[in-house]
């Protein structure tokens, strides 16, 4: 259903922390023109934990309005409250999103049965394709392959964003859920290795500032130009490193500010970058060829 280079969109903000809707709309359009295969608003990189509900829904709506059907919009709709996740998913469907990205519930630490019941309740309530977002470092829970296989039998649950960085996981997921279950990496460093293990694409942080390179890497892989894909992968490594030198999305927002796409502002409790990190991001951007 989804493949190639997808972007986990930043949410541009002004110096006072308000959402910069004009900059955001221009950013989404730029991403599509640069070859990004799908846009994913209000995930982790979009600072969903610190957007209020009205802002969250508006950010989804703008992405859909700008995309105009040119690429799919996979709307972030997750929450540690099942009722809240259902509301956000209903909004995503009404707004015209092609799918919803729903994170495993954070803080609550549900059991595997709790995870199953949470996602089943959302999928039962809203007729919209759902991508499970499994990110143990952020949510503290790890959905097992067995639980994902149970959920994959629901007609509305179509895939996973796998941010475990465990390259054995897509092999087991493919066997348990079937080749038609869409597997998207959530970890830039291992994107090509994930494709080799049966994945379909990557929901990328790095694509926020290097969308064309990320798109070309996936195109090369899909066309069987493996050496070309590896060359681009090698070129991007220092940028991947720099963009995760501090808590994301701090570094990638700073990188986008260097391109004139947004201010570098993140909402508290994310702090401004340390100067050493900012220098590392600038150097990586230059090394990759994104800055003069």
Q: Are 27 and 249 in contact (CB under 8 A)?
A: no
Give domain status of residue 36, yes or no: yes
Give domain status of residue 248, yes or no: no
pLDDT digits (tens, 9 = 90+) for 158-187: 999 999 999 999 999 999 999 999 999 999
* 74 φ, ψ (degrees, to nearest 5): -105, 105
pLDDT digits (tens, 9 = 90+) for 95-136: 999 999 999 999 999 999 999 999 999 999 999 999 999 999
pTM over 0.95: yes
Give domain status of residue 281, yes or no: no
Mean pLDDT of 286-291: 97
Query: In this structure, which long-range contacts are made by residues 178-184, counting pairs with CB atoms below 8 Å and at least 24 apart in sequence?
Result: 178/152, 181/152, 182/1, 182/2, 182/3, 182/131, 182/158, 183/159, 184/2, 184/6, 184/131, 184/159, 184/160
State the catalytic residues.
133, 161
Give domain status of residue 282, yes or no: no
In this structure, the number of other CB atoms found within 10 A of the CB of residue 263 comes to 17
- Distance (Å, whole) CA 269 – CA 17: 12
pLDDT value of position 1: 80
Q: Are 73 and 63 in contact (CB under 8 A)?
A: yes
pLDDT value of position 292: 83
CATH code of the domain in which 161 resides: 3.20.20.70
Distance (Å) of CA 43 to CA 204, 228, 271? 11, 30, 19
Give domain status of residue 25, yes or no: yes
Mean pLDDT of 26-31: 98
In this structure, the number of other CB atoms found within 10 A of the CB of residue 275 comes to 8
Give domain status of residue 287, yes or no: no
Give domain status of residue 233, yes or no: no
pLDDT value of position 145: 98
Enclosing domain of residue 211: 4-225
Indicate the number of domains in the chain.
1
pLDDT band at 30; cut points 50, 70, 90: very high
Give domain status of residue 157, yes or no: yes
* 81 φ, ψ (degrees, to nearest 5): -110, 120
pLDDT digits (tens, 9 = 90+) for 213-258: 999 999 999 999 999 999 999 999 999 999 999 999 999 999 999 9
């Amino acid at each position: 259903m989804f493949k190639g280079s997808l972007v986990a969109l930043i949410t541009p903000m002004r110096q006072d922390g308000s959402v910069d809707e004009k900059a955001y709309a221009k950013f989404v359009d730029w991403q599509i023109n640069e070859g990004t295969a799908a846009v994913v608003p209000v995930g982790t990189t979009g600072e969903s934990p610190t957007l209020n509900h009205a802002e969250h829904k508006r950010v989804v709506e703008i992405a859909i309005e700008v995309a105009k059907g040119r690429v799919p919009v996979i709307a972030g709709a997750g929450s540690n409250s099942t009722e809240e996740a259902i509301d956000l998913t209903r909004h995503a469907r009404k707004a015209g999103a092609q799918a919803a990205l729903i994170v495993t519930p954070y803080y609550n630490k549900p059991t595997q049965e709790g995870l199953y019941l949470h996602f089943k309740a959302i999928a039962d309530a809203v007729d919209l394709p759902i991508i499970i977002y499994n990110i143990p470092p952020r949510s503290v829970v790890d959905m097992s392959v067995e639980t994902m296989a149970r959920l994959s039998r629901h007609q509305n649950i179509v895939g996973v964003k796998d941010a475990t960085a465990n390259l054995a996981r897509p092999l087991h997921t493919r066997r348990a859920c079937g080749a038609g279950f869409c597997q998207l990496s959530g970890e830039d460093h291992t994107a090509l290795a994930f494709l080799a293990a049966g994945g379909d694409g990557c929901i990328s942080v790095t694509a926020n500032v290097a969308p064309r390179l990320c798109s070309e890497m996936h195109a090369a892989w899909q066309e069987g130009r493996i050496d070309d894909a590896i060359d681009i992968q090698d070129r991007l490594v220092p940028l991947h490193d720099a963009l995760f030198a501090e808590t994301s999305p701090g570094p990638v927002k700073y990188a986008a500010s260097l391109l004139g796409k947004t201010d570098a502002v993140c909402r508290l409790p994310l702090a401004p970058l340390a100067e050493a990190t900012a220098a590392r991001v600038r150097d990586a951007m230059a090394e990759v060829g994104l800055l003069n």
